[in-house]
Each structure stands twice: as structure tokens, then as C-alpha cells.
Amino acid sequence: MSVAEKSQKKSGGLGETFSVIIQALLLALVIRTLLFQPFSIPSGSMRPTLLEGDYLFVTKWAYGYSRYSLPFGPDIFSGRIWGSEPKRGDVVVFKFPPDPSVDYIKRVVGLPGAKIQMKDGQLFINDVGVPRVKTGQIENPDITEVPQPVDVYH
């Protein structure tokens, strides 16, 4: 085997490795842009269901796609395609309007047109109290951040 043949084999191997890396990066970009995206819970506002530092993968297609679902927001189509409405109780991720670089992870309580109120710790939707059913207690201060047990309602 000549020196020229050996150098061709090495460059072919290096080129193939480079090609595989580029393909893997493109596949990861497509998956993250169109299918799933990882998020980390930054605060305790979703306790006890989701804790600070928890990771979750969010499906990108749950409520359909709009031009804002794609990088750089190309105006390919108007409205939302393959869309569905969020339901009460869904956990959603959205951009914080005053600062779009911040992602908020929250649970849906009200739907469009609903009147939402909190009166003395009781949730009211369209002036009707949402029934609270005690489902247990949490006694772990790492979760509740208080030394005594905390009641959990559904």
C-alpha cells in the first residue's frame, strides 16, 4: 500500500466522521425545533407537582404550529396548523411577554373568556367556586419549605 492510498483512507475516515457529526447536529436541531424541547423548572411556583430543578420534555405539536414555532419566525403560513385548544389543568410553556427570552412554565386555570378570581384562598371560575378535595399531606420540608405538614388539594 502506497503512502497516497494511506492518506486517502485517513481523509475518508475524517470526512465521514465530520459528515456524521453534521447529520447528528441537524437531526437534533429538527427534533428540538419541531418535536420536543427540554426545560428546567426555575422556581417553586409549581410545587408540589414540579419541583425546582426538575427537567421536563415538552411536545411542540400539542397545540399546533404557528409561524412563531419556527426559528426566525418565517411567514410561511398564517394562523395555527394542526392546532388544538389547551385544557384546564394542562402544563404549558410560553414566552414571558415583557421579556421573550424568559420561558414561563405554568398550569392552565382559565380558558379564553373565563373570569378568574381568588377569594380567601378559594379559586372561582366564572363566579363558581372550584371544589377542593383534600388528597393528602406533604410532610417533606424540602418540598413545602415549611416545617409543618401541608395539606394537598385537587
Q: Which one of 9, 95, 106, 115 is the catalytic residue?
A: 106
CA distance 48 to 135: 12
Q: Is there a contact between 27 and 131 (Cβ–Cβ < 8 Å)? A: no
Is position 45 annotated as part of the catalytic site? yes
Given the residues 11, 45, 84, 115, select the one marked as catalytic. Answer: 45
Q: How far apart are CA 88 and CA 111, in angstroms?
A: 7
Distances (CA, A) of 105 to 38, 46, 115, 133: 12, 8, 21, 24
Concerning whether 87 is annotated as a catalytic residue, the answer is no
Q: Backbone phi, then psi, for 65, in 5-degree steps?
A: -115, 145
Which residues are catalytically annotated?
45, 106
